[in-house]
Structure 1
């Protein structure tokens, strides 16, 4: 839009009746003050005149702000025409198309037909120089950004973009941002698909060395399975001076309270599967333990036998990945072997 065109608008507004004057005339007996322009209309006129002056100085951004304020105070279709012209000069084609379309819709019956025809011609010239880009985003509800500026979640398509390179970015909570750079020329029409992938679950914190994270469940939560190896020494409290043997074991934690494992008593030819359940505490915790000691024939013993054992234990974990346990069991292996 050139300066002459905008000045023609200003002239039109000057010659046409103002908004307040276009109302039915007051009866002569009414006070004259009622026919004077309202303060809001005066304020709108001030912003409009300021916009015209700024436009003549090619200060299109400042002129746009003045015209928009004038329209907010006293909406009139011809102000929309000026707003569309500013957007056009600023190469803000999407906003210009919207303003021209609104002017054509609201101006019917209010502005001369010649002005509507001129506006339609100017709109057609813009539509000939822009590109139309339809963006589909998965999942629904994602925020779309064009060249770094968010344009919302419910965006009317197609997007109207000026010729050149543009950056399209889609964002959604719990999803990885997806972006696509497109280069378009006037008249282009294309479709861009942005599929946002789910972010992987965050790694669990506070899990010690040697831990392995299990598979993600159907609900999306990840369960940690902590494996550990250990060494110990056990003795019969009723015969401390005569008994005692080292052991090695392995265990796996199922959740935060349950652990299953097995210990091998090296010199006693015994394997002891066990289950431990944490009752209370965290770094220092109390747990109950159940075990099934299985003793095998070692040449001196006449038979293999299975016992049952239950007990209590304390566990102290000073740092992740290292713990010390103190446990006591009551075990009964039948009348031939008695209770230990």
Structure 2
């Protein structure tokens, strides 16, 4: 499952869960409040019955858990017993006499009954929330299935399409290179170079898209030192005027996807080579503390925070998709990517594994 699919599944699951979970919590609270109300109401009834017995027996009746006091100015200020200290208290008027009788009942028995209701309610809510979470997950999965099928169908269509595009692009490159070997006219060579550049751009887009559509970026041990040596050799042939300064320890190993990291390096090095200083172009490649940096001495980027946006470009040299693809691949491989740039000084891209 790709990152965007996981994100969508989590969001839909949370929407279902939070919506229904809210009602479970509210209903649980109302149930607990109602049960507590009934317990206190029963307690008030017991107190009233005890006060009646006291009045009938001329205050001689004794009952375990109850006590009383006689007050002249006490008022019946509340419907339910109130907890004061270690007792629940409620006052009743004395029949045919002045004053009030204040009944005290030991709070432990009442509190225990309320706590039992509370524990039962919380346990029931937790059990229901767990069941709802599981149900929300399956409901979200079912709701997203049609969209997933459409995306899969589109991915296959695009993959087939770019495969079909790659074949003629490769043919154009091969045949154009053959023509260039036998062509001495500078104007025609310039036109052929434009064809090569266009075909090479199509081929590069094909590689980027093919990798993005690969749902399984399986990780493996990659020899970064060897990979960089090959990359630098290839780019040195394409850009013979550029000086490459590589500082990487021998046998530096990374646990990542080889195709993806190779594509990331290609896109970053292409940008560095394109925008390096024209008079004295230099590129520095350094690996230290699990971070790889690629730096050039070019004209820099005006808005580095926008570089990863799709189709963003500051001139006509690119298509505005390379760095966006780099960013997406880094996210898939859990690589943090940082870019810093100063105009007329250069740009530095750092990958931290």
Pick 1 or 2: higher relative contact order, CA cutoff 8 A, min separation 6: 2
TM-score normalised to the size of structure 2?
Answer: 0.18
Larger radius of gyration: 1
Between structures 1 and 2, the one with greater strand share? 1
Q: Which has the higher helix share?
A: 2
Provide TM-score, normalisation by structure 1. Answer: 0.19
